[in-house]
């Protein structure tokens, strides 16, 4: 058990960092200091008490990343209830299913999201409150409830309870033991089946205290939050860890296109950047690759005395584009393209690749950028987690990665069958990922158990590795490799923007992709060869982590 109590971490942080900025809405140009955040949490506690919420009750939360979302999340856990954050990308039917399955009694949501939900299909919800702003207006209440009147009288209730105003001495939260479930996080994986991951205060404390040990951020430093906070990765490090440290989180609150991110980074100048591979890969493809493919740059890179200067200039340009003030970019949530990874390492860009999953809240392994070894995803967390490979030779023969330790979930909510299937008989969590380890317990991932294919003579084929090569070929935006009638087929979404820039007509696509196929097959073993190519005009549907939902395209 982690010795630091999860809820106490925030009691201590709010008091110690009272006069520092805590949260900012980038698009709204508004900021809450730690003292303001503590006061807003107290207001929501009065709302929950007035709604007769008990310890252990579930409260659902869905909306864009903004200050009211963060206040709601923290207030529910610090009250002693269980938060059920739902990704706003989910379809309304899935949202309603999760709310009902989790047995949530209240819902905090954006007005527009609520307009798309059907109150008649949410029989357990007693009331709905808006997270469009900090008024938390009541959008719906069951017959006989008084929730709208409670929400509208929060200011007077605060004045009555805190006669001298809300102060540091008033920051006192529920006694929540680290063994208690505080969060049910519904997965949004590539297999299409959403399960409620039960995470304890200990699981979250394990992630946060280890990030503190790693010194990823310091008091008063800045971070930009652009990953979905309803997902474990962004929530743990851009939000929960940052606030436990006394850092300042700026919530982007909009789709993180490279242009929007670049402006936000320039304005905020973050000290740490947490990202998914897709963002970095887009920057590489759009901003770096065109430069290094210019004849003059190619020539310069062949001259040793000039090569280091060119790389240094590219590295500095990339760092400036990301604000110029960070010590590290942490990439996680999915596999980073190996060509991109190799180039970033070559130019000595300060990045690292970590590994985790929702069921571990999420962190499993990590290396600082100066210890990072390309193609790995870091060492298993010291004194927190253990790893083993289900293989006769874990250092050389690929097997399933299995873990246990402080960060591992309690199980899946109301799903004993799935919980049992997720663990080995001796209690190790089966990650579903395939890989090897080295002598330092550094993990090297090869692919997913469910996506691995067998070649004609039983050879292991990892589609992700073929896709990584294909994605770097001319005019390929993204790809999927699937098996059809015993043959490998590449599904490709073209890079139409690059085609337009190069003035290439779309009727040339089949010929271009056939040439890509021929080039690719020369790089692959014969049993990995692609038999045919299919062009997809629209992008592949993705999870909020930006992983392609493979199950939609496998048949």
Read out DSSP for 111-169? HHHHHTS-GGG-TT--EEEE-SSTT--EEEE-TT--HHHHHHTHHHHHHHH-TT---GG
**Residue 362, preceding bond cis, omega within 30 degrees?**
yes
**1-13+28-176 and 463-552, same CATH topology:** no
Residue 139 reports pLDDT greater than 80? yes
H or E element that contains 69: helix 67-79
pLDDT in tens, 84-113: 999 887 888 889 999 999 999 999 999 999
Q: Residue 543 has what pLDDT? A: 75
Q: Please state the rounded mean pLDDT for residues 271-280.
A: 92
Distance between CA 524 and CA 515 in Å, rounded? Answer: 15
363 CB-side CA count, 13 A: 31
- CA angle, 179 then 185 then 189, to 5°: 135
- CA angle, 447 then 451 then 452, to 5°: 70
Return the DSSP state at 528.
Answer: G
Query: 333 - beta bridge partners?
Result: none
Residue 495 tokens read as: 């890079």
**Residue 190 — pLDDT band, cuts 50, 70, 90?**
very low
pLDDT in tens, 154-183: 999 999 999 999 999 999 999 999 999 999
Domain 463-552: give its CATH architecture: 2-Layer Sandwich (3.30)
Q: Please state the rounded mean pLDDT for residues 463-481.
A: 91
Distance between CA 88 and CA 107 in Å, rounded? Answer: 13
Residue 211 reports pLDDT greater than 90? yes
| Domains of the chain, residue spans | 1-13+28-176, 463-552
Residue 193 reports pLDDT greater than 80? no
Among the listed ranges 112-121, 212-221, 385-394, 492-501, which one has the minimum average pLDDT value? 492-501
Q: Are 107 and 57 in contact (CB under 8 A)?
A: no
Distance between CA 356 and CA 384 in Å, rounded? Answer: 13
Distance between CA 272 and CA 330 in Å, rounded? Answer: 8
Task: Tell me whether strands 106-109 and 127-130 are parallel, antiparallel or unpaired.
Answer: parallel
Of residues 199, 183, 194, the one with CA closest to residue 93: 194
Cβ neighbour number for residue 175 with a 10 Å cutoff: 11
Distance between CA 38 and CA 34 in Å, rounded? Answer: 6
Instruction: Calculate the dihedral angle through the C-alpha atoms of 84, 88, 91, 94, rounding to the nearest 10 degrees.
Output: 0
Return the DSSP state at 539.
Answer: P
Residue 172 tokens read as: 């006192």
Cβ neighbour number for residue 259 with a 10 Å cutoff: 9
Residues 6+ apart with CB under 8 A from 106: 48, 51, 53, 59, 60, 125, 126, 127, 128, 129
Return the DSSP state at 540.
Answer: P
Sort 19 into a burial class: Cβ within 10 Å, 0-12 / 13-18 / 19+: exposed
Q: Which residue has the tokens 């304005």?
A: 267
Distances (CA, A) of 70 to 67, 279, 371, 392: 5, 24, 33, 46
CATH 3.40.50.12780 fits 1-13+28-176, yes or no: yes
pLDDT in tens, 73-84: 999 999 999 999
pLDDT in tens, 399-458: 999 999 999 999 999 999 999 999 999 999 999 999 999 999 999 998 877 777 877 666
Q: Residue 191 has what pLDDT? A: 45
Question: What are the respective helix, strand and coil percentages of the chain, to the nearest 5?
Answer: 40, 25, 40
């Amino acid at each position: 058990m982690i010795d630091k109590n999860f809820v106490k971490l925030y009691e201590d942080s709010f008091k110690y960092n009272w006069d520092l900025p805590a949260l900012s809405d980038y698009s709204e140009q508004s900021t809450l200091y730690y003292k303001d955040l503590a006061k807003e949490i107290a207001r929501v506690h009065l709302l929950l008490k007035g709604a007769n919420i008990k310890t252990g009750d579930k409260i659902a939360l869905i909306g864009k990343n903004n200050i009211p979302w963060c206040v709601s999340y923290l207030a529910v856990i610090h009250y002693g209830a269980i938060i059920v954050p739902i990704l706003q990308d989910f379809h309304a039917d899935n949202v309603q299913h999760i709310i009902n399955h989790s047995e949530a009694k209240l819902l905090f949501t954006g007005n527009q999201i609520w307009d798309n939900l059907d109150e008649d299909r949410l029989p357990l919800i007693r009331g709905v409150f808006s997270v469009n702003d900090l008024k938390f207006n009541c959008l719906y209440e069951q017959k006989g409830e008084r929730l709208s009147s409670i929400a509208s009288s929060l200011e007077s209730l605060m004045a009555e309870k805190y006669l001298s105003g809300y102060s540091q001495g008033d920051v006192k939260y529920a006694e929540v033991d680290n063994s208690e479930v505080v969060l049910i996080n519904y997965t949004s994986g590539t297999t299409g089946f959403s399960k409620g991951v039960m995470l304890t205060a200990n699981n979250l404390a394990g992630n946060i205290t280890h990030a503190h040990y790693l010194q990823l951020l310091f008091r008063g430093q800045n971070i930009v939050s652009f990953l979905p906070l309803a997902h474990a990765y962004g929530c743990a490090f851009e939000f929960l860890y940052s606030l436990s440290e006394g850092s300042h989180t700026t919530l982007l609150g909009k789709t993180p296109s490279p242009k929007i991110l670049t402006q936000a980074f320039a304005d905020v100048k973050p000290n740490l950047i947490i990202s998914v591979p897709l963002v970095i890969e887009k920057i590489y493809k759009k901003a770096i690759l065109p430069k290094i493919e210019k004849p003059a740059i190619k020539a310069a890179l062949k001259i040793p005395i000039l090569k280091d200067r060119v790389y240094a200039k590219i590295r500095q340009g990339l760092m400036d584009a990301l604000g110029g003030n960070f010590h590290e970019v942490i990439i996680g949530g999915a596999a980073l393209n190996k060509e991109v990874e190799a180039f970033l390492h070559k130019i000595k860009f300060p990045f690292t690749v970590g590994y985790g999953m929702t069921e571990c809240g999420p962190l499993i392994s990590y290396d600082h950028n100066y210890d990072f070894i390309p193609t790995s995803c870091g060492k298993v967390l010291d004194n927190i987690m253990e790893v083993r490979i289900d293989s006769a030779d874990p250092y050389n023969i690929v097997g399933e990665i299995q873990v246990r330790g402080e960060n591992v979930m309690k199980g899946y909510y109301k799903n004993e069958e799935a919980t049992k299937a997720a663990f080995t008989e001796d209690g190790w969590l089966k990650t579903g990922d395939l890989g090897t380890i080295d002598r330092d317990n550094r993990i090297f991932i090869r692919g997913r158990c469910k996506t691995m294919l067998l070649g004609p003579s039983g050879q292991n084929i990892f589609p992700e590795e073929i896709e990584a090569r294909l994605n770097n070929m001319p005019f390929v935006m993204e790809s999927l490799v699937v098996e059809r009638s015993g043959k490998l087929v590449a599904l490709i979404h073209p890079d139409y923007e690059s085609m337009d820039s190069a003035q290439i007509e779309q009727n040339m696509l089949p010929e271009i992709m056939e040439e890509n196929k021929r080039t690719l097959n020369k790089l692959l073993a014969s049993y990995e060869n692609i038999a045919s190519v299919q062009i997809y005009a629209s992008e592949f549907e993705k999870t909020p982590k930006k992983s392609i939902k493979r199950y939609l395209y496998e048949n």
